[in-house]
Structure 1
Amino acid sequence: MVEITVCGTAVERASAERATVTVQSRWSAPRPDEAMRAVAEAHERLITDAKGHESAGAAESWHADRVWISHHEEWVGEGQPRRSVYTAAASVTVRFRDFEVLGTWIGVVGLHQTHEVGGIAWSLSEETERERAKAARTRAIADAVERAGDYASAAGLGAPVVDAIQEPGTTPPAPPRGKARMATMAMESADAAPAVSLEAGELEVRAAVEVRFVADALRHVV
């Protein structure tokens, strides 16, 4: 009996369905109340926009931070006293379904000096991600079976039979007592769990699985 351990992998692709963007309101002033007032007004406008996009169905969800303020001393010039600067900031994060509405909103908020638009994180809906992950896991098993078959054929062994399955990064199953480990034909590295790579356009859902097979040596008839 020979053991064959392989890693099966698969990648499923789907077009981005969600876009998450964070817009931060930030303002600096020589007085704390000035900085707080400017940011509070800008922040409230963003929250109103976020609520409106969610109500209209263009956005799936949103959340906002509280306004906070920091202070530092700014160097003015040689021999001059340092100047106190107060910076207030707060952010609103919105997860959009409608990319056209998102583009329009970014164009509008970007005109305000108090607003800083962060990068966009592209993702799939939860339903699509589950479906693609399930399909990727199924294909990863099929890939492992094919790999094991190739190794068994090349080594002159019989058809391999699944003995254990695990995701990379989990605790390996203990080998059955009394069974000697005769050989390990292959082991390939892979990511610990299915993961989604965020990028514009098509997104990837990956799966990897480690499978241990056993195969008998073929008997030659003289």
Structure 2
Amino acid sequence: MVEILVTGEAVERAAAERATVTLQSRWQADAPEAAMTLVAKAHSRVSAEARAFAESGAVDTWHADRVWVSHHREWVGEGQPQRLVFTASASVTATFVDVEALGTWIGELGAEQVHEVGGIAWSLAEGTERELASRARSRAIADAVARAADYAEAAGLGAPVVRSIREPGVEPPRPLLAKRQRGVESMVLGAADAGGAVELAAGDIEVQALVEVGFSAEAASRGD
């Protein structure tokens, strides 16, 4: 009996269905009250809009941080006393299922100096991800069976029989074109600075399956 150990792999792809973005409200001032007041007002508006998007179904989940204040000393010039600067900041993170609504929101808020739009993380709905993972696993097993059969035939062995199945670490779903994705995020930030709705294109997400399968095969019987 001969042991055959092979790795089967498969990838399924689907268009991204969800977009998670973090929008930070941030301001600096010479006094903590001035920075806090402006950011609290801006943050309240962003939170209210995120809540409204959730109620309309455009946003799946969202959460808001509390406003906080920090300070640092800023160099002014040679021989000049350092300036004490206070920074107030708060952020809202929302996962959109309506990409068009997200583009409009980014265009409106990103044009205001108090707001900073972060990059977008694209993902699949849980049901879609589970379905793709299931299909990928089935194809990975079929790939392993085909590989083992090729090796057995090449070595003059009989049909291989499955003895063990092991799933090593599998990478989480990821955008198909990472370089293109970074370009899209840069476009989002630039368009937000200019104002107006931002047109977003997510691309596809990959779901990968990887499996190690152990087989055994007997030497093929020879005729007289």
TM-score (norm 1): 0.87
Question: Gapped runs of 5+ residues in structure 1?
Answer: 169-191
The number of aligned residues is 199
Residue 174 of structure 1 is matched in structure 2 by: none
Report the equivalent of 2:186: none
2:112 counterpart of 1:74: no
Structure number with larger C-alpha Rg: 1
1:56-115 CA-partner distances (Å, limit 9, x unpaired): 111111011111111110011111100000111111011111111111000000121110
Q: Which has the higher helix share?
A: 2
Partner of 2:215: 213
Q: CA RMSD in A?
A: 1.0
Q: Is the 8 A contact 1:164 1:211 kept in 2?
A: yes
Find the aligned partners of 2:172 and 2:80 in 1 and give their Cα distance.
55
Task: Work out the percentage of aligned pairs sharing the same amino acid.
Answer: 62
Partner residue, 1:195? 172
Determine if contact 1:194/1:208 at 8 Å carries over to the other structure.
no
Partner of 1:204: 206
Q: Would the aligned equivalents of 1:21 and 1:95 in 2 still touch at CA under 8 Å? A: yes
Question: How far apart in 1 are the matches of 2:134 and 2:172?
Answer: 12
Q: Measure the CA separation in 2 of the matches of 1:208 and 1:36.
A: 50
Q: Match of 1:30, as an amino acid?
A: D
Q: Which residue of 2 aligns with 1:167?
A: 167
Q: Shift in Å at residue 39 of structure 1?
A: 1.0
CA distance in 2, matches of 1:134, 1:145: 17
Partner of 1:27: 27
Q: CA shift at 1:4, angstroms?
A: 0.5
Number of the residue aligned with 2:55: 55
> Partner letter of residue 220 of structure 1?
R
**1-side partners of 2:2 and 2:142: how far apart?**
20
Give the whole-Å Cα distance in 2 for the aligned partners of 1:66 and 1:144: 51
Q: Runs of 5+ in structure 2 lacking a partner?
A: 176-180, 182-201
Counterpart in the other structure of 2:101: 101
Task: Give 1:51 deviation, angstroms.
Answer: 0.4
| Alpha-carbon distance, 1:219 to partner | 2.7
Which TM-score applies when normalising by structure 2? Answer: 0.87
How far apart in 2 are the matches of 1:83 and 1:129? 52
Q: CA deviation at 1:194?
A: 5.1
Q: CA separation in 1, counterparts of 2:218 and 2:171?
A: 32
**Aligned partners of 1:195 and 1:207 also within 8 Å:** no
Deviations 1:24-60 (A, max 9, x none): 0110111111111111111111100000000011111
Equivalent residues in 2 for 1:111-190, closer than 5 Å:
111-168=111-168
Cα drift, residue 195 of structure 1: 2.0
